[in-house]
Amino acid sequence: MKKYLLASLPLIALSSAVVAAPSFETDAPIAYMTDLSSGAVLFEKNADKQIPPASMAKMMTVYVAFDLIKKGKLNLDDKFRVNEETWKKWNNQGSTMFLGVGDQVSVRDLLHGIVTLSGNDACVVLAEGIAGTEPAFVGLMNKRAKELGMSKSRFGNSNGWPDEGVTVVTARDLAKLGSATVNDFPKLYDAFYGQDSFEWNGITQSNRNPLMGKVAGADGLKTGHTEEAGYGFAGSAEQKGRRLVSVLAGLDSYGGRIEESVKFMNWGFNAWEPRKLFDKGTKIQTAEVQLGDSSTVTLVAPKDLFATIPKASDGKISMKVTYNGPIKAPIAHGQPIATLVLTTADAGKQSVPLVAGEDIGEAGFFDRVWAGLKSLLGLA
């Protein structure tokens, strides 16, 4: 598949001055931040180093469950039984939901127990209920990780419990996972993330998210801690329609995690700002179509498109459209088929998707024959 580069769009000139990207320092040995409104990477430090995720691995357990719910293969009211063997292994083992032997627990409650309480027991009960065994569920986790492009991550269990190095992730991969959770399941994300507390069996536990109550719009994602991994946190917050996803890992104290997480997220919102480029539905360019009832398809903005730049910046933004092609029909309206690549002198490259502005059907029989002849004669 050949990558086509369409003609560059005109520069958007904000001014002639250019300044350096805003600096940030953190005690965390591993850090990463991305802006979902533009796709910009605002900060990275050892973002591709493989690390044990501790309970941040539970983000993938939740993602798998959300995916099955969206596909109609799992219902929030479905109930799974806590078997005695699972209870014996996970009762009071690290973070817990305090499930009891024989409890019939709904998927809804198990998800609250994972997202808000970080229950190791809840993860395993959910995994066994969905796939029959935890190892079978882990297979689903790794399949989804591959589909999401988490190329340097693998999972060995459903809750991130230390497993002699089998389970590893990277900060960049965790940010991909967090971003996908927000984008792929917005209603489920709103329903389960950002809850202050959850009660089960008469025991109320608070959400350990270090951003909640300290950063406006904070609602996710997951803390993690083991002796091996140190203190980590994958966070997300939205302010004025702009959502940031951050990852910090390897911190040496509970208090340090709070301090660094709040400082990091505030920097992301305060030192950077979005610049609107196109309204939703704006025609950006056209792309060639192979064997379609139209020879071209309109490339449009699927949502309001922004670039993220330092607040002190007055640089220029150049734009190019790329796609893998030729794009073969049929093409559905709203189908992602191209990428708008934004380049700024002070914030590097940012990429946002473009979608088809209309349906393109397959060409008729004679049109396909004529296209084949032109290709054979070198006229195509």
Question: Does 143 participate in catalysis according to the annotation?
Answer: no
Question: Does 79 participate in catalysis according to the annotation?
Answer: no
Rg (CA), the chain: 23
Residue 57 structure tokens: 């691995």
Question: Does 58 participate in catalysis according to the annotation?
Answer: yes
Catalytic residue among 37, 38, 95, 118: 118
Give 19's strand partners: none
Instruction: Quote the CA–CA distance of 16 and 18 in Å, as a whole number.
Output: 7
User: Beta strands 327-328 and 283-290: pairing type?
Assistant: parallel
Instruction: Decide: helix, strand or coil at residue 17.
Output: coil
Q: How far is CA 320 from CA 100, 181, 326, in A?
A: 57, 28, 17
Catalytic residue among 55, 153, 179, 246: 55
Catalytic residue among 58, 179, 236, 261: 58
> Where do we find the tokens 């709904």?
106
With 0-12 / 13-18 / 19 or more C-beta atoms within 10 angstroms meaning exposed / middle / buried, residue 364 is exposed
Q: What contacts 214, CB < 8 A, 6 or more positions away?
A: 258, 262
> Where do we find the tokens 């400082």?
263
Give the residue numbers annotated as catalytic, written as ranges: 55, 58, 118
